[in-house]
């Protein structure tokens, strides 16, 4: 193989890797919009926006399938070495997490159709609204950490997941209180509980993506490193 | 390459494919046990069994990682052709679904710790018990359809998912009724609602696996074929 030909192949390969990263970034963007629309459909009981979100989920599923196929074909054709293989496999996993987040957004949107006509009060919504903002920024930061291969930013996202869980627990208790105060609140608040659960799970997927970003950059599992740090601190 | 050498390589490759299928079958077995233990821990408030289930989930996660690595290494080394590539990629997806089912089992087990000491009544449990039996057999049948590459059996599993959804909806309403009857039931029934939701999601994963089995055997998406059949019926 001539050197020019070799360079040509390497450059085509790099183009493919860049393209894969771009596809993930684009899918991430679509998923962020889906969360925005899903929650807005829920909070405003907006049927049209609910339909838009459900349709968008089909496109997100297609994007995942496409990324999957791209990644598998790259592995088969290029037989990549360790670090590139890691990048490609990580892309498969991140796309899978994003696809699940798309499902959650769809579920939020669909729930707007179920709560129409129920006894809804603004305070039922507030916690859900706050949690949405929080998990949106978690997902955004996780995707940024992934795109920029920033291990420190990835750790940040994982550390903040406890706050999302705490918000969820406190919202859970608050909604139970409304239910106990007045049985007419039960159905609406139950639906809100499930919305809160969907949001908490979006937070978990953001953490997964951040953990993948950490692994991509360092080659180590974040959970292993955290345990080691913890042991070192105990000894000190 | 001599013919014997060629045969040797083909046979080593087939061994790897068989090994991959065995790993999935074993993981499926572990996940079935986890659902059994998770629900039993929940229904009997059995702390010890809850701990066992949480620990088992770590092993299930490890199995997924192992299957992932095996599959990726096979794609990289063997550059498989279409039908083998499909089998290997399907294994990655089935392992991912099984890993999520393991998570659900863990969540069921963990909930047993949260409902201890609450106002629990046998009727809160019945629906959850029935749903557990149903999704267990759904998962078992899906894994069988996958192992035996039986497209007809895969369609059966997908068709029965509507029944699981119907059970969930009816259980949802029933639990709401208990909550409205007596506010002291609210906390316990809310936890049961989440258990029901976890079980419904196990049913969804069983459907995913059945859809993958169908694709593996036919090379077509089940949803596309169902739509086509539906259109043909409308025309007839």
- Please report, in tens digits, the pLDDT of each residue of chain B (236 residues total): 556 666 666 778 889 999 999 999 999 999 999 999 999 999 899 999 999 999 999 999 999 999 988 998 898 888 888 788 888 989 999 999 999 999 999 999 999 888 888 878 888 889 999 999 999 999 999 999 999 999 999 999 999 999 999 999 999 999 999 999 999 999 999 999 999 999 999 999 999 999 999 998 888 888 777 767 767 776 76
Number of compact structural domains in chain B: 1
What integer pLDDT is reported at residue B104 of this predicted model?
95
Binary contact (A72, B76; C-beta < 8 A)? no
Cβ-contact B216, B90 below 8 angstroms: yes
ipTM over 0.90: no
Q: What is the CATH number of the domain that holds A201?
A: 1.20.58.220
Q: In whole angstroms, what is the distance from residue A187 CA to residue B41 CA? A: 28
What integer pLDDT is reported at residue A75 of this predicted model?
87
What integer pLDDT is reported at residue A189 of this predicted model?
94
Binary contact (B194, A190; C-beta < 8 A)? no
The residue of chain A with its CA nearest to that of B74 is A76
Give pLDDT tens digits for B210-231: 999 999 888 888 877 776 776 7
Interval A119-131 mean pLDDT: 88
What integer pLDDT is reported at residue A79 of this predicted model?
80
**Burial bucket for residue A6 (CB in 10 Å: 0-12, 13-18, 19+):** exposed
Tell which wins on pLDDT, B62 or A119: B62
Q: Rounded to 5, what percent of chain B is helix, strand, coil?
A: 90, 0, 10
Number of Cβ pairs < 8 A linking chain A and chain B: 51
The range of the structural domain enclosing residue B81 comes to: 3-235
User: Considering only CB atoms, which residues of chain A are within 8 Å of chain B?
Assistant: 68, 72, 75-77, 79-80, 85, 89, 92, 96, 176, 179-180, 183, 186-187, 190, 193-194, 197
- Per-residue pLDDT at A188 exceeds 70: yes
CA B203-A104-B170 angle, to 5 degrees, is 45
Q: Which of A65-74, A115-124, A178-187, A201-210 has the lowest mean pLDDT?
A: A115-124
Give alpha helix (H) positions in B45-150: 47-78, 82-115, 122-148
What integer pLDDT is reported at residue B4 of this predicted model?
65
| Distinct helix (H) and strand (E) counts, chain B | 7, 0
């Amino acid at each position: 193989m001539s050197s020019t030909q070799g360079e040509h192949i390497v450059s085509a390969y790099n183009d493919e890797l860049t393209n894969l990263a771009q596809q993930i970034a684009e899918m991430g963007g679509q998923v962020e919009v889906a969360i925005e629309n899903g929650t807005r459909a829920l909070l405003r009981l907006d049927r049209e926006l609910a339909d838009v979100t459900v349709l968008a989920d089909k496109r997100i599923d297609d994007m995942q399938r496409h990324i999957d196929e791209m990644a598998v074909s790259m592995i088969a054709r290029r037989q990549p070495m360790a670090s590139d293989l890691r990048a490609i496999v990580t892309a498969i996993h991140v796309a899978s997490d994003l696809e699940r987040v798309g499902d959650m957004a769809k579920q939020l949107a669909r729930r707007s159709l179920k709560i129409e006509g129920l006894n809804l009060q603004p305070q039922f919504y507030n916690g859900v609204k706050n949690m949405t903002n929080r998990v949106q920024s978690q997902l955004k930061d996780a995707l940024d950490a992934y795109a920029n291969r920033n291990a420190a930013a990835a750790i940040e996202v994982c550390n903040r997941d406890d706050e999302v869980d705490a918000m969820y627990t406190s919202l859970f208790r608050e909604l139970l209180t409304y239910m106990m105060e007045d049985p007419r609140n039960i159905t609406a608040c139950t639906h809100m509980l499930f919305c809160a659960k969907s949001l908490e799970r979006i937070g978990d997927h953001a953490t997964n993506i951040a953990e993948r970003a950490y692994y991509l950059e360092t080659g180590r599992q974040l959970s292993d490193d955290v345990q080691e740090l913890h042991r070192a601190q105990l000894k000190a």
